[in-house]
């Protein structure tokens, strides 16, 4: 029977399957073990993550598997700066034996519900060229399937199957509110940008990977460059697409991280790009808070989160 991370406690004996999300060989610091190494791991399932360590024969055991594999481990749960699983034995499972639902989280909202909302956002795009561009993307069933299953990130926010679709819809909802507050915003351009700003992520992450490993294009180019290439290619299929509209949409994609030190090739220089950057940031940050809070904590506070650089009061 599967033992889930969330149920483990100090003193438990474990014999179960987990996804390896981190794997590092570390040199022993003790002089009597000079030249030897132990293996430090992070193991995960759909319920959470736990630190693990292999003290003996770490180098030999490390050669049996890679990060991203699902392994069956035997060990005991102890405590060292939180729960730690001391592993005594480990074997790799064949991918055909793995039930993805046990190791890869998915958006809580149903896919059908989100796709219906996607159709509503598309219907609000009244510019004929932008509507045709969205049709080129979302009328492609293969693309739509990948878009609906992709994560929005590996670690930070919406880092689960369906996360890209959920995040894009959140950005679109925020953009719609902004257009009601600032009618001078070009609504069609903003909604189109909301749906396509992260489109490169379907090629940035490996769809077959349980822990959303980066692809080679993802490592070399990143989702912003990939996304602009994808949009440029689809624009070629829309007859008469205006050049000024292409430039403004491209600028939204290239500037949506807001600052160059955050990975944007450009900073937002149009009203729509500036609005989308903030909608994107709000969606991402609130999801980060929500994910950290969902892990709970002691004394009314979560553990320190290194990305948010704070603990969160739970009340």
pLDDT at 113: 97
pLDDT at 84: 95
DSSP SS3 for 48: strand
Spatial neighbors of 217 by CB under 8 A, at least 6 apart, are: 203, 204, 226
Q: Does the 105-293 domain belong in CATH 1.10.3210?
A: yes
Say what percent of the chain tops pLDDT 70. 100
Q: How confident is the model at residue 298 (pLDDT cuts 50, 70, 90)?
A: confident
Under a CB-based contact definition with an 8 Å cutoff, are residues 190 and 160 in contact?
no
Q: How confident is the model at residue 123 (pLDDT cuts 50, 70, 90)?
A: very high
DSSP SS3 for 22: strand
In this structure, of 94-98, 110-114, 130-134, the range with the lowest mean pLDDT score is 94-98
Under a CB-based contact definition with an 8 Å cutoff, are residues 206 and 263 in contact?
no
Parallel, antiparallel or unpaired: strands 83-92 and 48-54: parallel
Report DSSP state, residue 279: H
pTM score: 0.87
Q: Please give the C-alpha separations between residue 191 and each of 13, 130, 178, 203, in angstroms, as whole numbers.
A: 52, 9, 11, 22
Query: ∠ at Cα 206 (200, 209), nearest 5°?
Result: 150
CA distance 238 to 213: 33
One DSSP character per residue, 66-81 reads: -TT-EEEEEEEEEESS
143-158 pLDDT, tens digit each: 999 999 999 998 889 9
Report DSSP state, residue 2: P
Under a CB-based contact definition with an 8 Å cutoff, are residues 280 and 171 in contact?
yes
One DSSP character per residue, 229-264 reads: HHHHHHHTTSTT--HHHHHHHHHHHHHTT-SGGGT-
CATH topology match: 5-101 vs 105-293: no
CA distance 315 to 313: 6
pLDDT at 82: 85
**Region label for 158, one of left (φ > 0), alpha (ψ between -120 and 50) or beta (otherwise):** left
250-290 pLDDT, tens digit each: 999 999 999 999 999 999 999 999 999 999 999 999 999 99
- pLDDT at 34 exceeding the cut of 80: no
For the chain, give every domain's residue range.
5-101, 105-293
Q: Which two tokens stand for residue 302?
A: 């979560």
pLDDT at 154: 87
> What angle in degrees, to the nearest 10, is found between the helix axes of 141-149 and 163-181?
90
Q: Which two tokens stand for residue 208?
A: 């077959």
CA distance 189 to 40: 48
CA distance 18 to 68: 10
pLDDT at 88: 93
- Segment 239-243 shows an average pLDDT of 98
- pLDDT at 53 exceeding the cut of 80: yes
CA distance 160 to 62: 27
Among residues 149, 191, 180, the alpha carbon closest in space to that of 276 is found at 191
186-219 pLDDT, tens digit each: 999 999 999 999 999 999 999 888 989 999 999 9
Query: ∠ at Cα 148 (20, 256), nearest 5°?
Result: 90
- Is the dihedral angle over the CA atoms 244, 246, 248, 250 positive or is it negative? negative
- Segment 69-89 shows an average pLDDT of 93
CATH for the 5-101 domain, from 3.40.50.300, 2.40.50.140, 3.40.50.720, 2.60.200.20? 2.40.50.140
């Amino acid at each position: 029977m599967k033992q889930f991370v969330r149920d483990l406690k100090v003193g438990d004996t474990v014999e179960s399957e987990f996804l390896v999300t981190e794997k590092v060989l570390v040199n022993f610091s003790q002089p009597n073990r000079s030249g030897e190494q132990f293996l430090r791991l992070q193991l995960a399932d759909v319920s959470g993550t736990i630190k693990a360590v292999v003290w003996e024969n770490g180098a030999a055991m490390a050669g049996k598997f890679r990060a991203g594999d699902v392994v069956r481990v035997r060990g005991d749960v102890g405590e060292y700066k939180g729960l730690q699983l001391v592993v005594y034995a480990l074997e790799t499972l064949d991918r055909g034996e793995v039930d993805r639902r046990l190791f890869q989280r998915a958006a809580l909202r149903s896919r059908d519900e989100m796709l219906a909302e996607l159709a509503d956002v598309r219907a609000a795009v009244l510019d004929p060229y932008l509507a045709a561009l969205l049709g080129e993307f979302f009328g492609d069933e293969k693309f739509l399937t990948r878009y609906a299953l992709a994560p929005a990130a590996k670690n930070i926010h919406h880092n689960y199957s369906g996360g890209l679709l959920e995040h894009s819809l959140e950005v679109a909802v925020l953009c719609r509110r902004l257009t009601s507050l600032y009618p001078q915003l070009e609504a069609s351009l903003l909604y189109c940008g909301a749906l396509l700003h992260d489109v490169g992520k379907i090629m940035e992450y490996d769809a077959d990977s349980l822990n959303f490993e980066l692809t080679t294009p993802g490592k070399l180019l990143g989702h912003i460059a990939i996304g602009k290439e994808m949009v440029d290619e689809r624009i070629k299929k829309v007859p008469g697409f205006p050049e000024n509209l292409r430039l403004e949409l491209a600028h939204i994609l290239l500037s949506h991280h807001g600052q160059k030190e955050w990975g944007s090739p450009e900073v937002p220089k149009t009203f729509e790009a500036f609005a989308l950057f903030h909608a994107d940031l709000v969606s991402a940050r609130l999801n980060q808070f929500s994910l950290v809070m969902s892990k709970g904590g002691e004394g009314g506070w979560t553990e320190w989160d290194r990305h948010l650089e704070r603990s969160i009061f739970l009340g």
